[in-house]
Amino acid sequence: MRGDGERRGMWRVIVRLRALERKNRLRVAGRGLLPWLLVPGLGGLGAALFMLGQTTLPPADLPPEALAEALAERGYLLRAAMCFLIGAGSFEVLYRARGATNLAALPFDSRSLFIDRLGALYLAHLPLLAALALLQAPLIEVAPRALAVEFAIDSLVWLLTPAAGLWLHTLAGVSLLRGTSLIKEFFGAGMRVDSAALMLYSPAAVFAVGLSAAILLAQAFRPLLSSSGQAGPALVGTLLVFTAIAGFVLHSAALFKRSWRAIRARFREAEMLPPWREGPLPVRVYAQSPARLFSPPLRGLYLAMLLNLRRRHRLDLMFTVLASGALFWFNLATTLPLDALLAWNAMLLLLAVAVVLTPIYRLTGRELSPPGCDALFRPPAAALTTARVLIALTHQLPITISVAAGYGIKTAQPVGVLLLLMIGVGAGLLASLLYLWIRGRRSGAWLPWANRGAWLLVALTLVLIGS
């Protein structure tokens, strides 16, 4: 058994490895114009988020009850987006991130690995809290007290959701060790899953926990906005959140200590088994028909990458369908003013097609585009780029159509529908070309995030100019 001193020493080794990794990445990224563009880019992104928050504010002359309802709906939508991103991102950080896979192969104790993953979860999602703070900051012009309340709710939800993600994803990993069961067969029906069924649903479970906490905390903090200003429910809600965080972290630590090595080994096998295995595909897959219009070699490259994308990332299309339905429902159910609704739709559409749900990063990754294969076969650069961009556009098209259709049904404004269609197609095209251009000039693990940040700045600027 290792003593406390040796454990602390192992933790220091992990910290040094992380520092060395960041230093090497910064050394690679520090060549060229990127360091000179980083500070103005971050400043411009912050200013764009602040101005975007201003465009989505309800009118200040609304009655108090209507203003409170509009602010509550606005905060709910922002926190729902944050919980959705944390639900999906926490699984990647825990199981698929490069830091998790590299350190798991080294002889570190489970306690040190747990602390490393816990810190990585919060650091990876810290930009979400910063973005929410900038979007909420314009509330100081309308309701200063509401700004403090909304930021307190955002912070508590941000603290709770990664801890819940750590616990739920670890529980799903433990279930991976226990084989199949009736409930797993039920949840995995039609998806070719067995023991890995619960891992498919753990990101959705994290989203549900975070969103439920956001709704309950909004109700608990609402009395602070009234004339009485009762703080009792808010204090109780805050205490419950920190109690839940402690429970999630402590139980996750116990699960890590007992099962993490076995979970990692079993998950590596599950990457080759259902639902991720390279098994049989349907006779026809989504977006396969346009290949008949292309001539060689574009047709061959398009089909090869499309089938490999569908085979390796089977759930991507399901997430796209779910996101399209959610955005369509948002347009039908919202009570936002029409001008604010157009700005919200543009922002959500740009985030979806250019940052979150674009497959361009997968199409250029090592799994679908190994460097050795590209160097050996040397496919034509123009055909390869065209195939990647076309696949990205076809997978972004359902989201664009659902947003434009929902907005058109809600408002009956053809100009707004046309504008959203142009934004969706244009954002998908420009985001893909920008990333491929950056990738052609540089290589490194930071590239997808650099492209996301750069495109997010451009996208938000376009939204502000258009609105």
- Condensed to tens digits (0 to 9), the pLDDT of residues 203-239 reads 888 999 999 999 999 989 888 877 666 788 889 999 9
Question: Residue 448 — pLDDT band, cuts 50, 70, 90?
Answer: low
Domain housing 344: 298-467
φ/ψ of 406, rounded to 5, equals: -60, -45
For the chain, the domain total comes to 2
Question: Residue 91 — pLDDT band, cuts 50, 70, 90?
Answer: confident
Is 274's pLDDT higher than 60?
no
- Which residue matches tokens 């639902």? 275
Displacement of CA 206 from its chain's centroid (Å): 12
Segment (H or E) for 333: helix 316-333
Give the end of a domain, one of 228, 244, 277: 277
Closest by CA position to 163, among listed 79, 267, 247:
247
Is 170's pLDDT higher than 50?
yes
| Prior bond of 414 cis (ω within 30°) | no
Whether residues 259 and 305 fall in one domain? no
pLDDT digits (tens, 9 = 90+) for 233-262: 889 999 999 999 999 999 999 988 888 777
Whether residues 269 and 306 fall in one domain? no
229: left (phi over 0), alpha (psi -120 to 50) or beta: left
Whether residues 331 and 217 fall in one domain? no
Q: What is the 3-state secondary structure of 165-225?
A: HHHHHHHHHHHHCCCCCHHHHHHCCCCCCCCCHHHHHHHHHHHHHHHHHHHHHHHHHHHHH
Whether residues 218 and 135 fall in one domain? yes
pLDDT at residue number 1: 46
CA distance 454 to 456: 5
Does the residue 384 lie in any domain?
Answer: yes
pLDDT at residue number 243: 95
- A 10 A CB-CB count for 395 gives 24
Compute CA distances 72 → 69, 79, 126, 138, 239, whole Å. Answer: 5, 11, 23, 15, 22
**Dihedral (CA of 226, 228, 229, 230) sign:** negative
Are 281 and 389 a contacting pair, CB within 8 Å?
Answer: no
CA distance 205 to 201: 6
Is 190's pLDDT higher than 50?
no
Whether residues 327 and 396 fall in one domain? yes
State the average pLDDT over residues 140-166: 89
pLDDT at residue number 444: 47
pLDDT at residue number 76: 87
What is the reported pTM? 0.66
Whether residues 242 and 151 fall in one domain? yes
Are 104 and 113 a contacting pair, CB within 8 Å?
Answer: yes
Are 360 and 392 a contacting pair, CB within 8 Å?
Answer: yes
